[in-house]
Amino acid sequence: MAKTILFVEDSASVRQVMKTALTREGYDVILACDGQDALTKLDGGKIHLIISDVNMPNMDGLTFVKKAKQLPNYKFTPIIMLTTETQESKMNEGKAAGVKAWIVKPFQPPHLLAAVSQLIQA
Amino acid sequence: MKELIKFYQNDYGMALPLLLSSGFGSLGLAVVSRFAMSGLVMAAALIVMTIALNFWGRNRYQMSLQTIQQGLLECSQQENEQKIQLLQQEHNETISRVCIEKIEIERNRINTLIMNLEQRFDALLNRFSGQDAQNITPCKITQSSIETRIADLSQRFDALIDYLDQQTENSEPQQLCPIGLVPLCQKVLPIWANQIEMARGHTEESVANLAQRFDALSQRLDAAVIASQSTVEGDQSHHGGIVELLQTSQLKLGSITQALSASLEDKEKLLHSIEALSSFTNKLSQMASEVSSIANQTNLLALNAAIQSARAGDAGHGFSVVADEVRKLARLSGGIGKQINETIDSVNEAIEDTLVISHKFAQQDKNTLNKAEHIIDSVLGHFARAATGLTDSAELLRTENNAINLEISEVFVDLQFQDRVSQILALVCDDLKKLENHLNELNEKDSENVNHAVNVEQWLEELTQTYTMEEQLAAHRGEKTSINTGETSITFF
């Protein structure tokens, strides 16, 4: 059975790129355009991994991650942050919130897919 | 101490009337007892004397009290005066000390202010360090008095003001903020922001479409490769491909040629059998000749027997009957032998005809088989070459597909820069809006005649705080940056 990944990103182009890359690898992909939208998507079926941007309108990625981690079903779901943000303080904030990996854009899709595969099987 | 003694003396004086009255009482008692005077008279006299003495004593007491109060008053006044003098002295000393300290602090502060003023003056002087401004000497750190330094500074300021006035008079009027610039900015800044936002939106949409099309291209290419592979190699279990078709055709056509070869071999065997049959007919013919020969000899033998039986007379009559029958059988056998010979000849002819025809057919079959094998080989060769070509094409397509997928992967990396560009433009838009708001505020404050100086350093610092990427900071500092696109930065926690 294919694993499901929730991808949260405000940039339509990156959403498209990632959907393509993840679908080609055989994952089911759910897309959300910001943190608020993503929280509504968490009400649905089982999600095995979350990939989220940091700087987004309405609700930023770190706030979303903190809220998601408060939900019992997603307490242990691995989360990858995919962002242009390189500040140490933000990374530490993400780490404290329970993020498993921090990937800086631009990224090579195979590298991201390797990280996804590593975390989704862990 | 004197006052205290005096006080006790007065106290004693106050007690004296009492002692006197007691004495008078005792005297009165003695006089009454001695001179037999009326006791009432004596008592009255004593009462009068006692009252008189009492009044006298009270006056004395009041007088002494007044004296004491006066003494005390004088004493306390003297002490108070001394204390006041001491306090005044201490107060004056404290005020002097505090004033000196305050003056020192103020002096230091003024020194610092003057130093700052001198530094600013130097900075100002550097900004206008033209040829004409060289006669204005820069400030130097000196140990001269504050008044002197202030006076020097005032002179330098006056010189600078004169210089600036002179410059202003000589040059064309320059305005730090030309008239109409603020309203222009107020109008044009939102337009710039809208234009950037619109361009950002278009780029976002176009790049998303581009990514989608690349995805579609990639998928179609994959489908083409899969179709090509399935055409050449068949499905996952290698069924239905052209290679399998070729192999199957080779097998089936091979089996046909094998069947034809087998048939040819059978025919040759049949031919050999017929040839063998021909040799049998010769033997049969020989045997038929032998039968005819035996029949002739039997006939001769029967004839001899008949002759001998005739010689024997009646005794040989029965034997002559047998001999006749034998002769009949011999003739019959001879006739059958002849018939056999004739039949064998006919069979021989038929066999020879069959052999000729069979040889002819065998040769034709051989030729047909050779031709068929040649044609089959030729067709299979064509098929094999076509299959090899298709396999090569499929392999080339697969290699190209891998290369294109790699290229598409690189394109996907490049497409992500749209996101970075989008974020950079969004920040520029935000700053333009901030500038617009600031100008609106300035416009409002202008009417209220409020100081509206812009803190440029603070503005730039706030702008720096909004950056999320290294290249934004580098661009802010005016440095050139190169962005690493090869390695993905991944940090696992």
pLDDT digits (tens, 9 = 90+) for B192-226: 777 787 777 778 777 777 877 877 887 888 888 88
Identity of the residue in A17, A84, A87 whose CB atom sits nearest the CB atom of B423 = A84
End-to-end Cα separation, chain A, in angstroms:
17
Q: Who wins on pLDDT, B463 or B187?
A: B463
Within an 8 Å CB–CB cutoff, is residue B482 touching chain A?
Answer: no
Residues in chain B with CB shorter than 8 Å from the CB of A112 are 488
Test mutation, A15, A31, A84, A107, chain B, max B CBs within 10 A:
A84
What is the spatial distance between Cα B383 and Cα B239, in angstroms, rounded to a whole number?
17
pLDDT at A38: 94
What pLDDT score was predicted for residue B1? 45
Q: Which CATH superfamily is domain B241-377 in?
A: Methyl-accepting chemotaxis protein (1.10.287.950)
In terms of pTM, does the model score above 0.80? Answer: no
Check B204 against A105: CB less than 8 A apart.
no
CB B187 within 8 A of CB B436: no
A107/B413 CB distance under 8 A: yes
CA distances from B42 to A39, B21, B22, B27, B52 (A): 127, 13, 14, 10, 15
- Say if residue A106 is preceded by a cis peptide, omega within 30 of 0: yes
Which overall architecture, per CATH, does domain A4-121 show? 3-Layer(aba) Sandwich (3.40)
Interval B99-112: pLDDT, tens? 888 888 888 888 88
Q: Cβ of A101 and B493 within 8 Å?
A: yes
Query: Mean of the pLDDT values across residues B261-281?
Result: 82
Mean pLDDT of A81-106: 91
Has the ipTM of the complex gone over 0.90? no
What is the nearest CA distance from B413 to chain A, expressed in angstroms?
6
Confirm if A55 and A29 have CB atoms less than 8 A apart. no
Helix (H, G, I), strand (E, B) or coil at B386: helix
Nearest to B138 by CA among B112, B157, B151: B157
Summarised one tens digit per residue, pLDDT across range B42-80 is: 778 878 888 888 888 888 888 988 888 898 899 889 988
Chain-chain contact of B493 with A95 (C-beta, under 8 angstroms): yes
Q: Which residues contact B139 (CB under 8 A, 6 or more apart)?
A: B118, B119, B121, B122, B152, B153, B156
Q: What pLDDT is stored for residue B137 in this prediction?
A: 67
For chain A, the residue count is 122
Q: Does A95 touch chain B (CB under 8 A)?
A: yes
Are the Cβ atoms of A106 and B483 closer than 8 angstroms?
Answer: yes
Residues of A in contact with B413 (CB under 8 A): 106-109
* Structure token pair of residue B378: 């030729």
- The whole-number pLDDT of residue A7 equals 95
Residue boundaries of the structural domains of chain B: 2-105, 110-169, 185-238+416-466, 241-377
Q: Which residues of B touch A15 (CB under 8 A)?
A: 208
pLDDT at B7 over 80: no
**Angle between the B317-415 and B417-447 helix axes, to the nearest 10 degrees?**
20
Size of interface A-B (CB pairs under 8 A): 102
Q: Do B412 and A20 touch (CB under 8 A)?
A: yes
- Contact at CB, A109 and B485, closer than 8 angstroms: no
